[in-house]
Amino acid sequence: MKQTTRDNAFKWTKFIAFVLLILGGLNLLLMGLFNFNLIGGIFGGGAVARIFYTLFGLGALVLLGVILAKVFSNAKEQHKKETRELDATK
């Protein structure tokens, strides 16, 4: 199956969201263990740091959406499979 531009863009969106989630998680780890805010230290805790925090949150929401879509897709497929099996036994 040929990858479309849309599939490629979604792949990159998921990758960027994953990277943002990892960076945000590492920043929180540093804050929790060493009381050191890496993003605040680099960008001074102003508007730029807030933009990064917003991007971290958006990355988490994108990946949450991907996970939920996968879960519901699998549940829908499982329901179809069970329905076909029930119909076959009648």
What is the mean pLDDT, run by run of 10 residues, along the chain of 90 residues?
78 93 94 94 88 94 92 82 75
pLDDT digits (tens, 9 = 90+) for 43-60: 888 899 999 999 999 999
Distance CA 78, CA 64 (A): 21
**pTM (predicted TM-score):** 0.72
Distance CA 12, CA 85 (A): 38
Residues 6+ apart with CB under 8 A from 58: 17, 20
Check: CB of residue 25 under 8 Å from CB of residue 57. Answer: no
pLDDT for residue 45 = 80
For the chain, the structural domain boundaries read 5-89
Of the candidates 31, 51, 55, the one whose C-alpha atom is nearest the C-alpha of residue 41 is 31
CA 11 to chain centre: 11
pLDDT for residue 90 = 66
